[in-house]
C-alpha cells in the first residue's frame, strides 16, 4: 500500500510499504478513508520531538472502515464505519478505567524507554515517534488499530466524514482544554492559537457557558475563521501588546480561563523569540514557551491555565512567581479521547459544535508532502489538510 | 547549575535514543550487537559519554552479578496475581527470553532460556525455597546451573485496589573458564531486556497481551534518526 513516511526534518515521502497485519488478538485493521494533518505532526516534521526514524509512517487523526478484526475484538464488525482515537488505551489499567486514556500503562511498547525520560510511561500514540510507541500512523491506505474495541467508535449515520474525522483528535483536545480550564457560565476565556485545536477550544468554551472567548494568533485567515465560525473576538499578536489588550478587554481583571493551544513551537516577537530559538537550537531548552509565559501573565488572579499545546521536555523562564502569587491553577495533558467521543457525537448532531469548516484541503496521498507544506507555512487558507488515501 | 541540568537531560535522551536504536534495529534485522555497538559509539563519540559504563557502574566491571528489581502495581486482586506467577509455566507468557518452564512437582521446575543473539539455549533446574500463598514466592537454581540465579516476588495490597508486586531476579555467572563467555551475556542490555520482560507481567495480566509493533509496515529504513 501507499504511505506517507517521515524521512528527516521537513522531508516526507510517499512510499510503497507492506499492508498491515493483525499482530495481537485485540487488533483490528482499518481501511483509512480520511486522515488529517495536526499541529502535533509539525513538531515531528520540524524536528522537535525526539526518537523519529526514517520510514516512520505519520498521521493520527483519522476515520475509516473495519476490514479485519482479531479474535479478541468483540464490539466491532467488518464494514463498520469508525472514527479511531489518536491515543491508544488498553481499557483495563487503572488509568483507562478512570478515563485517563492518554496515561494508559499498557499501550506503549517502548514504555520502559520512555520512563527513562518521563519517569513513568504514557500511552502509545499513532504515528507519533518511538518514545510514544513507534506505532505506524494513519497517512496510509490501511492501519492496524490495537485495542480496537476501546479506540474505534462506530460513527452515527447522520454524521458526515468531514465532521467525524476531527472527533479523532482535534475536537476532543479542544473540548478537554475548555474542561481543564474550568470554563463556567459567565467566564471570559482566552485561547492562544487559532489552529484546529484552538478553534475547537473556542466552540467548546462557548458550549460550557463562556460569556466571551478571545482568540490570539498572527494568522489573519485563521483569526477570521474563529470570528466567523465560532463567534470569537480576535487579537493579532503581531501588531498589539497582548497583555494590555486582554487587560483592557476584561475590565482590568484578566481572563478567567487561559488556554494554550500552541505549545512548543510558539512564535514571539523580538528578543524573546531569538532567546528561545537559540536555546532550542542548542538543545538547552526543548520548548519555546512564549505562549505559556503569556498565559500565566495574562490570567486573572485565581484563574486557571490549561495547556494542550504540546511540550516535549524543558522550558525556561516560566514565571513561577506570577503563578504562585496570583494563586493560579494549571493543568495539562494529552487528550483522553475515548472519554469524549460519545459526547462529541451528540454535540455535533445537536449542532452545538461544528468542526467541518476546518477541513480546508482534501488531498490525495500522493500530495501528502504538499499538504504538510501548506499547513506548515499557513498558506492558502489552510486550517487542516485531510488526506484521502482511497480517493 | 542550569547548564548541568540541561546536559544531564540531554544525555538521558541520547542514551534512551541509542537504546531504542538498538531495539528497533534488532527487530528489523536480527543482528543486534554490531548495530548497538554502533549506536553507543555514536553517542560516546558525539558526547564523550558512555552509557554502557554509566549503566554498568565501576564496581560491576569486576563483579558481573546482575540484580534486577522491578516494582509495579497491577490492577487485579492479590489472589489472582499470586496464582498467575505461582503457576511457573506461565512465566514464558510474559518473559520472552524463557522458552519453557516445566513444573516437575510442587517445588521443582526445569527452566529453558534462549541465549540472546544466538540460537542456543541454557537450561537449569530450580526449586521453590519459599512460598507464602498470596504474599511471597522465592526460588533459586539448584546446584549445577551454569548461571546461578535466584528470584523473589512479593505481593501487597495496593492502597485503593490492585496489587503491588515487587520482583527481584539475580544472576551470578561462574568465575573463569566458560564463565567469562557467559559473563558477557550478563550485560546492561540483558538487564534492560529482562526488566522490560518482567514488566510485561502487568501487561499480560491486565490487558491480556503485550503491546507490539514488530511486524508492522514501515517505509525504507535509511538509517536516519532524530534522537534529540
Ligand atoms: N494535548 C493533545 O492531546 C493535543 C492533541 C492535538 C494537538 N495538540 C497540540 O495542540 C497545538 C495546536 O494544534 P493545532 O493542530 O491547532 O496546530 P496548528 O499548527 O494548526 O496551530 C497552531 C497555531 O498557533 C499559532 N501561534 C504560534 N505562536 C503563537 C503565539 N505566540 N500566540 C498565539 N498563537 C500562536 C500559529 O500561528 C498557529 O495558527 C499543537 O502544539 C499540537 O501539538 C495537542
Ligand atoms: Zn493531533
Ligand atoms: Zn490502559
Concatenated DSSP letters of B96-138:
TTEEEEEE-SSSEEEEEEEPTTSS-EEEEEEEEEEEETTTEEE
Give A191's strand partners: A215, A259
Q: Indicate the residue of A72, A135, A313 with minimum beta-carbon distance to B208.
A: A72
Are A110 and A140 in the same domain? yes
**Sign, CA torsion A59/A63/A64/A68:** positive
3-class DSSP state of A32: strand
**Closest ligand to A174 CA?**
1
Distance separating alpha carbons of residues A311 and B50, to the nearest angstrom:
28
Residues A163 and A178 reside in one and the same domain: no
**Confidence band for A118, pLDDT divided at 50, 70 and 90:** very high
Q: Is B207 helix (H, G, I), strand (E, B) or coil?
A: helix
Q: What local confidence, expressed as pLDDT, does residue B178 receive? A: 63
Residue B117's pLDDT is 74
CB contact set of A92 (below 8 Å; sequence gap of 6+):
A106, B75, B206, B207, B208
Mean pLDDT of A195-219: 98
Nearest to A181, CA basis, from A43, A307, A26, A6: A307
Q: What is the pTM of this model?
A: 0.89
Quick check: helix, strand or coil at residue A304? Answer: strand
Q: How far apart are CA A168 and CA A172, in angstroms?
A: 7
Q: What is the pLDDT of residues B140-190, one digit of tens each?
A: 999 988 889 999 999 999 998 999 999 999 998 776 666 667 777 777 788
pLDDT-based confidence at residue A297 (cuts at 50, 70, 90): very high
- What's the pLDDT at B32? 32
pLDDT at B33: 33
Percent of chain A predicted with pLDDT > 70? 100
Which numbered atom of ligand 1 lies nearest the CA of A197? 16
Cβ proximity of A259 and A178 under 8 Å: yes
| CA A195-A196-A201 angle, 5° bins | 100
Note whether A177 and A302 are same-domain residues: yes
Dump pLDDT digits (tens) for A213-252.
999 999 999 999 999 999 999 999 998 999 999 999 999 9
Any idea where the domains of chain B sit in the sequence? 7-55, 66-207
Residues forming a β-bridge with A359: A384
Name beta bridge partners: A26: none
What pLDDT does B180 receive?
A: 66
- pLDDT for the residue numbered B119: 84
Averaged pLDDT, A60-73 = 98
Query: All 3 cell numbers of residue A112?
Result: 520502559
B19 touching chain A per CB within 8 A: yes
What CATH number is associated with residue A189? 3.40.50.720
Residues of B whose CB is below 8 A from A369: none
Same domain for A316 and A184: yes
Q: Closest Cα to residue A136, out of A248, A15, A250, A219?
A: A15
Q: Which of A291-295, A326-330, B143-147, B202-206 has the lowest mean pLDDT?
A: B143-147
Q: Taking the CB of residue A53, how many other CB atoms lie within 10 A of it?
A: 26
SS3 A310: coil
Of the listed ranges A333-337, A356-360, B54-58, the one predicted with least confidence: B54-58
A225 shares its domain with A347? no
- Judge whether residue A29 has pLDDT over 90: yes
How many C-beta atoms surround the C-beta of residue A250 within 10 A? Answer: 17
A7 vs B75, B162, B224: nearest CB: B224
What is the C-alpha to C-alpha distance for residues B64 and B187, in angstroms, rounded to an integer?
8
CATH number at residue A56: 3.90.180.10
Rg of chain A (C-alpha set): 20
Task: Select from A123, A197, A201 the residue to mutate for testing ligand 1; criterion: most ligand atoms less than 8 Å from CB.
Answer: A197
Mutate which: A91, A130, A369, vs B, most B CBs within 10 A: A130
What's the average model confidence in pLDDT over A135-140?
Answer: 98
Rounded to a whole number of angstroms, the distance between the first and last alpha carbons of chain A is 14
Q: Kindly determine whether residue A54 and residue B23, on different chains, have CB atoms separated by under 8 Å.
A: no
Give the pLDDT means over successive 10-residue stretches in chain B (228 positions). 32 39 41 33 34 38 75 96 97 95 96 85 95 98 91 96 96 71 76 90 97 97 82
CATH superfamily of B66-207: START domain (3.30.530.20)
- Let me know if A67 is exposed, middle or buried by CB neighbors in 10 A (0-12, 13-18, 19+): middle
Between residues B57 and A363, the one the model is more confident about: A363
* A203 in the same domain as A233: yes
ipTM of the complex: 0.93
pLDDT at B19: 42
Q: Which of A315, A316, A320, A296 is nearest to A306 (CA)?
A: A296
**What is the signed CA dihedral for A19, A24, A28, A33, rounded to 10 degrees?**
-40
Q: What pLDDT, on the 0 to 100 scale, is given for residue A61?
A: 98
A26 lies within 8 A of chain B by CB? yes
Distance from CA of B208 to the nearest CA of A (A): 9
A46 Cα–ligand 2 center, Å: 15
Alpha carbon distance B8, B13 (integer Å)? 9
The secondary structure element, H or E, covering residue A13 is: strand A12-16
Judgement on whether residues A83 and A185 belong to the same structural domain of the protein:
no
Angstrom distance (rounded) from CA A4 to CA A32: 13
Residues A179 and A327 in one domain: yes
pLDDT attached to residue B173: 78
For ligand 1, atom 15, the nearest C-alpha belongs to A39
Residues A111-126: what's their mean pLDDT? 93
The values of phi and psi at residue A386, to 5°, are: -125, 125
Q: Are residues A177 and A215 in the same domain?
A: yes
Given a contact cutoff of 8 angstroms between Cβ atoms, the answer to whether B225 and B25 are in contact is no
Whether residues A340 and A252 fall in one domain: no
Give the nearest chain B residue to A315 (CA atoms): B6
Q: What is the 3-state secondary structure (H, E, C) of A53-90?
A: ECCCECCCEEEEEEEEECCCCCCCCCCCEEEECCEECC
Q: What is the pLDDT at residue B64? A: 65
What was the pLDDT predicted at B48? 33
Residues B116 and B193 sit within 8 Å (Cβ to Cβ): yes
What integer best gives the mean pLDDT of chain A? Answer: 97
* Residue found by looking up cell 463556567 in the block: A184
Our CA dihedral for B202, B203, B208, B210, rounded to 10 degrees, sits at -150
Q: What is the pLDDT of residue B228?
A: 66
> Domain limits at A305?
173-332
> In sequence order, what are the residues at sequence separation of 6 or more whose Cβ sits closer than 8 angstroms to the Cβ of residue A346?
none
CA–CA distance, A366 with A30 (Å, rounded to integer):
20
Atom in ligand 1 nearest the alpha carbon of residue A40: 43
Task: Supply the pLDDT for residue B177.
Answer: 61
Q: Are A15 and A153 in the same domain? A: yes
Spatial separation of the C-alpha atoms in residues A222 and A224, rounded to whole Å: 5
Q: A158 and A13 in one domain?
A: yes
Q: Looking at the predicted structure, is the pLDDT value of residue A180 above 60?
A: yes
Nearest-angstrom CA–CA distance, B41 and B53 = 12
Q: How confident is the model at residue A152 (pLDDT cuts 50, 70, 90)?
A: very high
| List of chain A residues whose C-beta atoms are within 8 Å of the C-beta of residue B202 | 105-106
pLDDT of residue B53: 36
Minimal Cβ distance to B216: which of A144, A285, A314: A144
| The three three-digit cell numbers of residue A165, written as one number | 474525522
B167 CB-near residues (< 8 Å, 6+ apart): B68, B69, B70, B71, B72, B151, B152, B153, B198, B201
Is-contact A3 A21, C-beta < 8 A? no
Number of domains in chain A: 2
Amino acid at each position: 500500500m501507499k504511505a506517507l513516511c517521515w524521512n528527516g526534518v521537513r522531508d516526507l515521502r510517499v512510499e510503497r510499504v507492506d499492508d498491515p497485519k493483525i499482530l495481537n488478538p485485540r487488533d483490528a485493521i482499518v481501511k483509512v478513508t480520511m486522515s488529517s494533518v495536526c499541529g502535533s505532526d509539525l513538531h515531528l516534521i520540524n524536528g522537535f520531538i525526539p526518537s523519529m526514524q526514517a520510514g516512520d509512517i505519520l498521521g493520527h487523526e483519522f476515520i475509516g472502515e473495519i476490514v479485519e478484526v482479531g479474535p479478541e475484538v468483540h464490539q466491532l464488525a467488518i464494514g463498520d464505519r469508525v472514527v479511531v482515537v489518536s491515543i491508544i488505551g488498553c481499557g483495563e489499567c487503572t488509568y483507562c478505567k478512570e478515563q485517563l486514556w492518554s496515561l494508559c500503562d499498557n499501550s506503549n511498547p517502548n514504555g520502559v524507554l520512555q520512563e527513562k525520560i518521563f519517569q513513568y510511561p504514557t500511552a502509545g500514540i499513532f504515528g507519533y515517534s518511538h518514545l510514544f510507541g513507534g506505532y505506524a500512523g494513519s497517512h496510509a491506505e490501511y492501519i492496524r488499530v490495537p485495542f480496537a474495541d476501546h479506540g474505534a467508535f462506530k460513527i452515527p449515520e447522520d454524521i458526515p466524514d468531514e465532521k467525524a474525522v476531527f472527533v479523532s483528535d482535534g475536537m476532543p483536545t479542544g473540548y478537554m482544554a475548555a474542561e481543564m480550564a474550568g470554563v463556567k457560565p459567565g467566564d471570559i476565556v482566552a485561547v492562544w492559537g487559532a489552529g484546529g485545536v484552538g478553534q475547537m477550544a473556542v466552540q467548546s468554551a462557548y458550549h460550557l457557558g463562556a460569556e466571551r472567548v478571545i482568540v490570539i494568533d498572527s494568522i489573519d485567515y485563521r483569526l477570521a475563521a474563529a470570528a466567523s465560525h465560532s463567534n470569537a473576538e480576535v487579537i493579532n499578536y503581531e501588531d498589539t501588546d497582548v497583555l494590555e489588550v486582554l487587560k483592557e478587554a476584561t475590565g482590568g481583571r484578566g481572563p478567567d480561563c487561559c488556554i494554550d493551544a500552541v505549545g512548543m513551537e510558539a512564535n514571539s516577537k523580538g528578543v524573546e523569540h531569538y532567546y528561545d530559538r537559540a536555546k532550542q537550537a542548542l538543545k538547552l531548552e526543548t520548548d519555546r514557551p512564549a505562549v505559556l509565559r503569556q498565559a500565566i501573565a495574562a490570567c486573572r488572579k485565581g484563574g486557571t491555565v490549561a495547556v494542550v499545546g504540546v511540550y516535549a521536555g524543558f522550558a525556561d523562564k516560566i514565571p513561577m512567581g506570577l503563578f504562585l502569587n496570583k494563586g493560579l491553577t494549571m493543568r495539562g495533558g494529552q487528550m483522553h479521547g475515548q472519554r469524549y467521543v460519545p459526547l462529541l457525537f451528540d454535540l455535533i448532531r445537536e449542532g452545538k459544535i461544528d468542526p467541518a469548516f476546518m477541513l480546508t484541503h482534501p488531498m490525495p496521498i500522493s500530495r501528502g508532502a504538499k499538504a504538510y507544506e501548506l499547513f506548515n507555512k499557513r498558506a492558502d487558507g489552510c486550517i487542516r489538510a485531510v488526506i484521502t488515501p482511497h480517493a | 547549575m542550569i547548564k548541568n541540568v540541561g546536559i544531564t537531560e540531554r544525555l538521558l535522551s541520547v542514551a534512551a535514543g541509542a537504546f531504542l536504536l538498538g531495539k528497533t534495529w534488532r527487530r528489523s534485522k536480527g543482528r543486534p550487537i554490531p548495530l548497538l555497538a554502533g549506536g553507543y559509539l555514536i553517542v560516546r563519540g558525539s558526547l564523550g559519554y558512555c552509557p554502557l559504563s554509566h549503566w554498568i557502574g565501576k564496581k560491576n566491571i569486576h563483579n558481573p552479578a546482575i540484580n534486577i528489581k522491578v516494582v509495579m502495581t497491577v490492577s487485579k486482586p492479590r489472589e489472582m496475581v499470586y496464582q498467575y506467577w505461582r503457576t511457573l509455566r506461565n512465566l514464558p507468557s510474559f518473559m520472552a527470553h524463557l522458552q519453557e518452564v516445566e513444573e516437575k512437582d510442587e517445588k521443582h521446575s526445569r527452566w529453558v532460556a534462549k541465549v540472546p543473539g544466538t540460537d542456543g539455549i541454557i537450561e537449569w533446574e530450580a526449586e521453590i525455597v519459599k512460598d507464602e500463598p498470596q504474599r511471597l514466592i522465592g526460588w533459586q537454581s539448584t546446584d549445577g546451573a551454569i548461571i546461578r540465579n535466584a528470584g523473589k516476588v512479593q505481593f501487597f495490597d495496593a492502597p485503593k485496589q490492585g496489587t503491588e508486586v515487587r520482583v527481584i531476579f539475580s544472576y551470578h555467572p561462574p568465575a573463569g573458564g566458560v564463565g567469562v563467555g557467559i559473563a558477557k551475556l550478563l550485560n546492561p542490555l540483558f538487564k534492560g531486556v529482562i526488566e522490560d520482560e518482567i514488566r510485561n507481567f502487568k501487561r499480560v495480566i491486565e490487558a491480556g497481551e503485550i503491546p507490539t509493533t514488530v511486524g508492522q509496515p514501515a517505509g525504507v529504513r535509511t538509517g536516519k534518526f532524530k534522537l534529540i
